Structure 1
Amino acid sequence: MRLRCGVASVCAAVCAVVLAVVPSALAVDAGLWYVDATGVRDAWAQGVTGKGVKVAVLDSDVVSDYPALADADISYRLVLPDGATRCHAQDHEDIVLTVDEPYRKSSDILSTHGTEVASVIVGSGKGYDGNPGMTGVAPDASVTAYPVDVSKSNLSFNNATCMTDSGRGIAINRVLSAAIDDGARVVNMSFTSMQHPDVDTYVRALRKGVVIVNARWDTQTPGTDDLVGDPMDVTYFPGTLAVSAVGPEGKLDEGPSDTKDGNVSFVAPGARISTPNSGNPKRLSADGQGNSLAAPMVAGYLALMMQRWPDATGNQILQALVHSTKNNPWGAGKLDPAHKYGYGQPDVAKLLSTDPSQYPDINPLLEAAVTNSEAHEQTQGMYTDRTDSFWKKTLWGHTEPFPESIDVQRDAVKVGVEYERQKTAWAQVEQCRKDGGSDCMRYSATATADKADEFVPKEVKPGSFTEYDYLYASDENDEQERVSPEAYASSQTSTQSVWGCLPVWAWALIIVVLALFVLVAVLVINHRKQASPSKRRI
């Protein structure tokens, strides 16, 4: 295992990616290429509109009376800690969400990031004052919008944490758990956050075949050298999707999207999209861009697929998605060797003509993260190490640089366990079919999700070792150091001091310094002994 010593601070903030839109003279119709040139409108003509598929949108607050959402099958739910029933924008107590009204009104604000994201999925195309509005790719999907923060102004980068009267914010893990409980088959999260994933919550989603779609961080900082996931980042948790934006030509949007990142799994339309004009949100401009738009495009595609193939599991839907892409000269079902495009851009026509039931009920992104991490020396053991002598004494570890170190919590071993469970379950399905059995899918990982705990080894069976109930890890949890198995084995101390985390060369240097100190001390003492008799002779 290549986890090593490291110390990282935990930030007490929630960072939300919001979309910047500037005025443009482009025709609005040009901004509908993601519907007209991708096969989406053809899907509608076949009656495939996402009808009945439950999609959760975790984002900022939504303007409920935005005309494009007026006829949509959309509901709203506010998930707060400690039984709270209301929250207000931090430092803006006049901006309030309540359990009874977990949304905004156009009399207060015309457009928000959450409104745009929801509209990319279920927007009707109707806008304010009879103007065109945003159009969604799966207009009949059943959306539940869960606010995770609030907007201070139209299309603002300046979103705020929604604080309860007791001073607590909205915990993403709790909201995700609620979405799973509410029966969501797809979860869209077009934001980044400094909150850390709760492994148990995410593994529960993996078990049930809930597909989580994320927007890649809007940054030009290069990502990992391969698809290995990042269990401490909600955007890259293993088994979930990370999406970057492309334009009509299928090329990456210039800027943050056009950046190497091995954890990107797909690209989708997210440039030159018709979105509300920042100067006049009642009108659209065809120059909206960002990974935040690309993610709900994929969420909408998934809704179309799930309506078209109602008997397919979430894992099989993902398998079909991986094998039904375009603009990928490196080959279908393979990752871009340049680590920018992932598996490519989903091909809607192929998605609706390829029966996913031919594929295993194994999450291909989970499989890629686990197998790829084991293939690289720097990341070996991320999801498989159970070295008791190491993990008994620490909650955290770091991989070797890949190109930067990846934080790994002790609970991440449950990710590897879930992958093994899915493989084992599928082997039973195949054996059943080989034996001529019937209803063999009853042995699949998705069908046996409620019994998944029986597969978990005793040493990793208890609940989460860490709890991210609020915005970040508690001080009590973070006091335990992040060390490596090698460092722990070399120190063999019962304390959690930084000394147990030092590499061998550092210990050698300390020993040399101490030896020199002793040598100097001996020389000084001898010098003083030699000097004393001469003084007596004077």
Structure 2
Amino acid sequence: MKPVLARLVAASTLLLCLIGGSVAPAVAASTGEATSQQNFEFWWGEYGIDQAHTAGLTGKGVKVAVLEKQINPDLPVFQGTNLHVSASPVCVNKPAVTTTDANDASIHGTTMAAYIVGNGTGAGAVRGIAPDADLTFYGYGPDDGPQCETADGNKLTAFGAGVKMAVDDGAKIIYTAIGGSARKDDAPAIAYALARGAVIVSASINPRQLGAREGDQGAYNGVVSTAAVDRDGNLQQLDGAPFVIPQTTVVAAGFRLPAVGKSGDWQTGGTGTGSSFASPIVAGMLALASQKTPDASANQLLQALISTTNGGQHTPSRTDDGYGYGAAWLSTLLAVDPLTLPDSNPLMDKAFGFGAPTAEQIATAQANGYSPEKRPSSADQLLEQNGSAASGTSLLDVSTIVLWVVVGLVAIVVVAIVVTVLIISSQRRKARKEQAA
């Protein structure tokens, strides 16, 4: 059954659809449709964000990390906030993380950061859900240029590398609205984050964007996957039908919301529709819940998130129709005591999941820290064989290799001689028969 109007909470995305930008544009408003600011104020009021702030819940003391491409940190919307930009770029070959150029990457990254700590001034007048949170921006760099090279030599994608960096810096909440495919090499980094008590929120793909609906970053076990809904709780549409991301965890507002700037112009606010908005909205909610109950584990925060959807407290129940556990709802999230909930991650073994990280990987990370999977090679296998001598296993030395090579070459020569003799004999028999005839 479709959740009530409260199903506003945002859907994850690969890209923010900005009107006036070169990114896939949002559909123009139809006659009578609410303006972007009205939509903004609607979900802001429905979630009870002002009441939370009045009660002193502003994200103060909570470390939050956003993984995006670029940002303009000098805009008015960030004045007086606790925004920091990591001195180390995620992609070592693309260090241009901050920029004054109003391009697609910087507008998107700036907007996503503003939905956590924005002060409501400047273009778009975006206010952050957790304005006093300690927010650090980890940048992938501009859209153009070479493929991302991470510090570990590309074993991790930009997402995996960013997650590990954020965890090492002490982030409790990590979110991104830059989508991508789940990769096996990133699983140890995700396991490391979960083992260290971090919550990860990832936006899902939007309609008509490249990529599969299943198997994205939100398909990792333990990760919150978000999707966008409108004021009436409707998902985005594709060819007249709801655009369903089966591994969705929760949904949130994401239709015609304000953005910081437009393509080539920081002075004019844009408008956007997409799952990108859902990711910071949900992350901001979790930051307030973490401030309210600082002793709550990441697992308990997730338990609270999925058991307080749609404006009520209930036993968690998910569907595969694109709504997951329902619409994330701040007022009920803050009303529950997460310390009374199980300290286990409820998002493991996803039905539409990637199968990783596994419980074993998380346990390994708890015991040993970040433990990337070793990539076996023939050299590794030779070293392992030689290293087994202590246990009585015979060594594979160079002389043995040479011997087998010689034996192989002799065998090839013998086979060649036999084949040649057989061919000659066959031809002679054939010639004698022809002469006899």
- TM-score normalised over the length of structure 2: 0.70
Aligned residue number for residue 464 of structure 1: 372
Amino acid at match of 1:282: Q
Kindly report which structure 2 residues correspond to 1:104-143, keeping only aligned pairs within 5 A, or say none. Answer: 104-105=99-100, 111-128=106-123, 132-143=124-135
Alignment partner for residue 205 of structure 2, among 189, 192, 217? Answer: 217
Q: Is the 8 A contact 1:111 1:276 kept in 2?
A: no
Alignment partner for residue 208 of structure 1, among 196, 200, 204? Answer: 196
Aligned residue number for residue 393 of structure 2: none
Deviating more after overlay: 180-189 vs 41-50 = 41-50
Alignment partner for residue 145 of structure 1, among 125, 137, 152? Answer: 137
Q: How many residues align?
A: 361
Kindly report which structure 2 residues correspond to 1:469-480, keeping only aligned pairs within 5 A, or say none. Answer: none
Does 2:262 align with 1:278? yes
CA shift in 2, pair 1:55/1:112, >3 Å? same
Deviation at 1:135, TM superposition (A): 1.7
Aligned residue number for residue 185 of structure 1: 172
State the distance in 2 between where 1:76 and 1:462 align: 23
CA shift in 2, pair 1:417/1:350, >3 Å? same
Amino acid at match of 1:189: T
Structure 1 unaligned regions, length at least 5:
1-15, 89-95, 151-157, 225-229, 374-378, 380-405, 422-448, 455-460, 468-473, 481-527
Amino acid at match of 2:47: T
Kindly report which structure 2 residues correspond to 1:248-267, keeping only aligned pairs within 5 A, or say none. Answer: 248-255=231-238, 258-267=242-251
CA shift in 2, pair 1:258/1:135, >3 Å? farther
Q: Which has the larger radius of gyration?
A: 2
CA shift in 2, pair 1:365/1:127, >3 Å? same
Alignment partner for residue 349 of structure 1, among 310, 314, 331? Answer: 331
Write out per-residue CA displacement over residues 462-504 of structure 1, whole angstroms, 9 at most, x where no aligned residue: 943347xxxxxx9x79xx9xxxxxxxxxxxxxxxxxxxxxxxx
State the distance in 2 between where 1:462 and 1:294 align: 29
SS of 1:244's partner is: strand
State the distance in 1 between where 2:269 and 2:315 align: 36
Aligned-CA RMSD value: 4.1
Kindly report which structure 2 residues correspond to 1:293-442, keeping only aligned pairs within 5 A, or say none. Answer: 293-326=277-310, 332-338=315-321, 340-366=322-348, 368-369=349-350, 372=351, 412=356, 415-417=358-360
Does 2:45 align with 1:50? no
CA shift in 2, pair 1:215/1:462, >3 Å? closer
Deviation at 1:161, TM superposition (A): 5.2
Amino acid at match of 2:331: A
State the distance in 2 between where 1:201 and 1:110 align: 24
SS of 1:345's partner is: coil
Deviation at 1:174, TM superposition (A): 3.1
CA shift in 2, pair 1:533/1:462, >3 Å? farther
Q: Is the 8 A contact 1:111 1:281 kept in 2?
A: no
- TM-score normalised over the length of structure 1: 0.58
Amino acid at match of 1:181: D
CA shift in 2, pair 1:237/1:29, >3 Å? same
Amino acid at match of 2:85: Y
Q: Is the 8 A contact 2:110 2:260 kept in 1?
A: no
Does 2:367 align with 1:453? yes
Deviation at 1:255, TM superposition (A): 3.9
Q: Is the 8 A contact 2:37 2:257 kept in 1?
A: no
Structure 2 unaligned regions, length at least 5:
1-12, 21-27, 382-426
State the distance in 2 between where 1:81 and 1:281 align: 25
Aligned residue number for residue 69 of structure 1: 78
Deviation at 1:175, TM superposition (A): 2.7
Deviation at 1:531, TM superposition (A): 8.6
Write out per-residue CA displacement over residues 434-470 of structure 1, whole angstroms, 9 at most, x where no aligned residue: xxxxxxxxxxxxxxx98x328xxxxxx9943347xxx
